[in-house]
Amino acid sequence: MRPGIVHRLDKGTSGVLVVAKNDNAHQSLSRQFKNRKVKKIYRALVRGQMEAEKGTVDAEIGRHREDRKKMSTRTKKGRVALTHWKVLKRYDELCLLEIEIKTGRTHQIRVHLSSSHHPIVGDSVYGSKKRMSRIKNDMLIKRLNSLSRPFLHAYLLGIHHPDDNSYQEFIAPLPGELNEILTLFGSEKC
């Protein structure tokens, strides 16, 4: 019953966020999120090579059995979660992905990719501690190891405007620290 934040991003995730300026907008936007009428596209850099060019993770997510601060796909009381991904660029031991989520579960992208053995670079909760042996660029290795957040960015948000129901998309380019990493790979900005 009050204007404000309609949805949220995981801690450390950058990108597009929608805020309602009044009660009508808040109710309309909240309804769109609840009814899965919102388009949510993310960018993530993950460890390992994806087996295909695109795919879907369809696995329920719930509280981790032992660590109540974490979520897991191996849970007794999971909720439906659906994540589509496609490869934007392949590197030696990493892939840059575009991810579209159809549900909005807590830590969904991070949990789904980690459970698929492709954790997000810089994710201290669901990530991998293994060293990347095939990357030969020392500056890149140092920058990847010093990343203090997951390489996860809410790139695009598509909503129906609460006033006139027109469909609108909002894009947030990758922040400088993430683009710097891609530049070290020799990639153009995404």
- What are the pLDDT digits (tens) for 148-157? 899 999 999 9
pLDDT of residue 158: 97
pTM: 0.90
Residue 132 pLDDT > 90: no
Residue 100 lies in a domain: yes
Residue 169 lies in a domain: no
Residue 151 lies in a domain: yes
* Domains held by the chain: number: 1
Q: What is the CATH number of the domain that holds 146?
A: 3.30.2350.10
Residue by residue, DSSP assigns 153-184 as EEEEEEEE-TTT--EEEEE-PPPHHHHHHHHH
Q: Domain range spanning residue 110?
A: 39-158+174-185
Asked if 167 and 183 count as a contact pair (C-beta separation under 8 A), the reply is no
The neighbour count for residue 99, using CB atoms within 10 Å, is: 25
- The mean pLDDT of the chain is 90
Q: What is the mean pLDDT of the segment spanning 112-140?
A: 84
pLDDT of residue 190: 53
pLDDT of residue 142: 85
pLDDT of residue 65: 82
Q: Coil, strand, or helix at residue 4?
A: coil
Residue 135 lies in a domain: yes
What whole-number percentage of the chain has pLDDT above 90? 63
Residue 11 lies in a domain: no
Burial class (CB within 10 angstroms; exposed 0-12, middle 13-18, buried 19+) of 29: buried
In angstroms, the CA 51 to CA 57 distance is 13
Question: Mind telling me the catalytic residues?
Answer: 10
Residue 74 lies in a domain: yes
Terminal-residue alpha carbon distance, the chain: 38
pLDDT of residue 133: 67
Residue 12 lies in a domain: no
Residue 44 pLDDT > 70: yes
- What are the pLDDT digits (tens) for 71-123? 988 888 889 999 999 999 998 889 999 999 999 898 999 999 999 999 999 99
Range name among 2-11, 32-41, 52-61, 113-122 with the lowest pLDDT average: 2-11
Residue 8 lies in a domain: no
Residue 175 pLDDT > 70: yes
